[in-house]
Structure 1
Amino acid sequence: MNTFVAILQRITGMIIKYIGVIIIAFTIWACWTPNVFSWTVSYTSIFLGVAMFGMGLSIKAQDFKIVWANPKEILLGGVLLQYTIMPITAYILCQALQLPTDIAIGVILVGCCPGGTASNVITYIAKGDVALSVGMTIASTLLAPLITPFLIFSLGGTWVDVSFLALVMSVIKVVLIPVLVGIVIHHFFGKKLEALLACMPLVSSIAIVMIIAGIISVNVSKIFTAGILVLAVVMLHNLIGMGLGLIASKILRTTYPKATAIAIEVGMQNSGLAVSLATLHFAMNPLATLPGAIFSVWHNISGAIFASIRQRHKGDEVAMPTDFVGESE
């Protein structure tokens, strides 16, 4: 069993390390042969639920101690900056660029979502504070069922009618419940489910890749007409988020590792949730799924570049948790 678990961990480590390359490869594949992945769109919420369940399985009791041990940084990066910079930036970009309704809704959805767990991997590569990154992701994810629908309702209502209650229920179903179930299972059965815990990051990563490939596959023709515009907006949104997160951290005189973690956390969203919400609630706006899918591809690229720049600076070495979920959203 130990050998099997070790093999799973090595495979998972490789997948997580090259997740950005894998996502790009599957994106190209989905554009080239869309029929291979188009079926996955019908199961977007299920795939996201699996990914969130995997995140829950990776959370241990000591991770909550991280939240309480770093209240200022958690509230700053995981809540305040995450839920102000990204949604407000999304709204300003949509208004300033006069984006079409479909694309505007998709950008707003990305901006209003919690941080993605890919930020934990990127923070490690950048020699940032990984424990803080994990804590911020947990905090923003657990608060998402209320804050994300409220922000979408407040900002997205400029373009279309938004049902606040329906959004709340969706986020509870596809995020909160799977995460909580995963946490409970890990707490009570973690030692007995070593193999499951070892492979869940791999399963979660595959689930997110399937979400992205599916959305790309059904929007191939639209990508060639609106893809450049969406990519430009997504790039601006992501880079502004990381830049403002870094500036805010420096103003508050946080350490290098903490500033790095906060900047990455603010700029990297759970775009899988954005895609899922677009699919469930904005079916009349088919392009609304596109910003989330493209964001999933881009933020892995920008995150890796940002990490390579940051790691050149002298910073404290940090340890990487062995079992957090490294999916792409």
Structure 2
Amino acid sequence: MKLLEAISTYAGKYFAILVILTALIAYLIPSPFLGFGSYITILLGIVMFGMGLTLKATDFKMVITHPVPVIIGLFAQFAIMPLAAFGVAYLLQLPPALAAGLVLLGSVPGGTASNVMVYLAKGNVPLSITMTSCSTLLAPIMTPFLLLVFAGQWMPVDAVAMFMSIIQVIIIPIILGLVVSKLMPKTVEKSLNIIPLISVLAIMIIISAIVAGNRENIASAGLLIFLAVFLHNAFGLFFGYLAARFLKLSVQDRRAISIEVGMQNSGLGVSLAKAHFADPMTALPSAFGAVWHNISGPIIASYWASRPDNEEETTNLPTNAQSATIRK
């Protein structure tokens, strides 16, 4: 078990590098990874099950005790990102499949790795965890609705079918994780340190399958996809911070909201694209997002961590540090 915990810690620490290497290997040698495509939904369900195992009632405490930052953050999450995706798609004149895929990336909830990035950035970790949890639970309603509104002009969207998919892939695994955690707390407690390893492996396999299966599309449109994902992520980070600053939230809250808004659940985007769109290129923005978000996240976290904080912290960060690390 100690060996697995050490490997899990290593995998979490070098997650971005591992994802990049996986994507490069899958691109250069695609054949070993092509068979993984049929397991994407199952793998994402495993990641969400792990999230359910780590969820606690305290993760939702801020909704009651400090609702304003949570509400602002969630509004920014589901307003800034789909609007930014829509704007970037028009700005770059993306093909319909890529445009719909970028809007899909902008309509999914926040990614779980954002909690670790907020901790490293010396942001408000409890707010980050609460936003991730709440946006994930809101996803069955918000993601199909936003995709229908902003991407319906490029590709047909079956909002009801997508609602059911998110329930099956996200909500049911999380509920199962909560139930298992409640029924077997001691067993779950012993296994928490290896959950990051399982999540990292699942994301690596998902990325390898998408890259391997779209090698030709990446070769022809890779630069355009990267530029779209780069701009989308940058808009999310910038305007997420700007919105929190405009509403005079603390520095810690601004950092948390910025990172939460900018880092999406790319795995869910890949799974939904594969399940609901015939064109495989629809999954590419989310696949690229899974790589780039785990590069930009550490960069901005390192930048903020090195800057002095002139405002008093409103929350006790160390108390939630372990939870944030596990959530990765």
Instruction: Tell me the equivalent position of 1:190.
Output: 185
Q: Matched residues in 1 for 2:322 and 2:8: separation?
A: 11
The one of 290, 309, 314 equivalent to 2:308 is 314
Whether 2:87 is the aligned partner of 1:92: answer yes
Q: Matched residues in 1 for 2:289 and 2:267: separation?
A: 9
Are the counterparts in 1 of residues 107 and 146 from structure 2 also a CA contact under 8 Å?
Answer: yes
Q: Matched residues in 1 for 2:247 and 2:139: separation?
A: 25
Q: Matched residues in 1 for 2:187 and 2:62: separation?
A: 25
Instruction: Tell me the equivalent position of 1:224.
Output: 219
Shift of 1:276: 0.4
Which consecutive residues of structure 1, in runs of 5 or more, have no partner in the other structure?
none
Q: Which moved more, 1:120-129 or 1:8-17?
A: 8-17
Whether 2:61 is the aligned partner of 1:62: answer no
The one of 261, 264, 271 equivalent to 2:259 is 264
Shift of 1:155: 1.3
Q: Which moved more, 1:170-179 or 1:64-73?
A: 64-73
Whether 2:130 is the aligned partner of 1:138: answer no
Q: Matched residues in 2 for 1:192 and 1:291: separation?
A: 38
Tell me how many residue pairs correspond in the alignment: 321
CA RMSD between the two structures:
1.5
Q: Matched residues in 2 for 1:194 and 1:58: separation?
A: 9
The one of 280, 286, 291 equivalent to 2:280 is 286
Which consecutive residues of structure 2, in runs of 5 or more, have no partner in the other structure?
none
Q: What one-letter code is carried by the residue in structure 1 that aligns with 2:271?
A: S
Are the counterparts in 2 of residues 205 and 326 from structure 1 also a CA contact under 8 Å?
Answer: no
Superposed CA offset, 1:143-197 (max 9, x none): 0011111111111111111111101000100011111111222123222333333
Q: Matched residues in 2 for 1:259 and 1:188: separation?
A: 37
Q: What one-letter code is carried by the residue in structure 2 that aligns with 1:311?
A: A
Q: Against the structure 1 CA distance between its residues 326 and 37, is the aligned structure 2 distance closer, same or farther, given a 3 Å change threshold?
A: farther
SS in 1 for 2:109: coil
Whether 2:6 is the aligned partner of 1:16: answer no
Q: Matched residues in 2 for 1:120 and 1:68: separation?
A: 20
Q: What one-letter code is carried by the residue in structure 2 that aligns with 1:70?
A: H
Q: Against the structure 1 CA distance between its residues 248 and 179, is the aligned structure 2 distance closer, same or farther, given a 3 Å change threshold?
A: same
Are the counterparts in 2 of residues 60 and 187 from structure 1 also a CA contact under 8 Å?
Answer: no
Q: Matched residues in 2 for 1:166 and 1:68: separation?
A: 32
Q: Against the structure 1 CA distance between its residues 326 and 229, is the aligned structure 2 distance closer, same or farther, given a 3 Å change threshold?
A: farther
Shift of 1:94: 1.2
Shift of 1:23: 0.3
Q: Matched residues in 1 for 2:96 and 2:294: separation?
A: 26
Shift of 1:69: 2.4
Superposed CA offset, 1:244-285 (max 9, x none): 0111111111111111011000000001111001000002x1
Whether 2:99 is the aligned partner of 1:104: answer yes
Q: Matched residues in 2 for 1:38 and 1:235: separation?
A: 26
Q: Matched residues in 2 for 1:290 and 1:137: separation?
A: 23
Are the counterparts in 2 of residues 198 and 323 from structure 1 also a CA contact under 8 Å?
Answer: no
Instruction: Tell me the equivalent position of 1:299.
Output: 293
Superposed CA offset, 1:114-139 (max 9, x none): 00011111111111111111110001
SS in 1 for 2:154: coil
Shift of 1:218: 0.8
TM-score where L is the length of structure 2: 0.94
SS in 2 for 1:99: coil
Q: Matched residues in 2 for 1:230 and 1:273: separation?
A: 18
Q: Which moved more, 1:289-298 or 1:316-325?
A: 316-325
Shift of 1:68: 2.5
Superposed CA offset, 1:193-227 (max 9, x none): 33333322211221111111110111112111100
Q: What one-letter code is carried by the residue in structure 2 that aligns with 1:279?
A: K
Q: Matched residues in 1 for 2:161 and 2:152: separation?
A: 14
The one of 18, 21, 27 equivalent to 1:25 is 21
Instruction: Tell me the equivalent position of 1:37.
Output: 33
Shift of 1:67: 3.3
Once the two structures are aligned, what percentage of the paired residues are identical? 42
Q: What one-letter code is carried by the residue in structure 2 that aligns with 1:297?
A: V
Shift of 1:326: 4.5
The one of 34, 45, 51 equivalent to 2:47 is 51
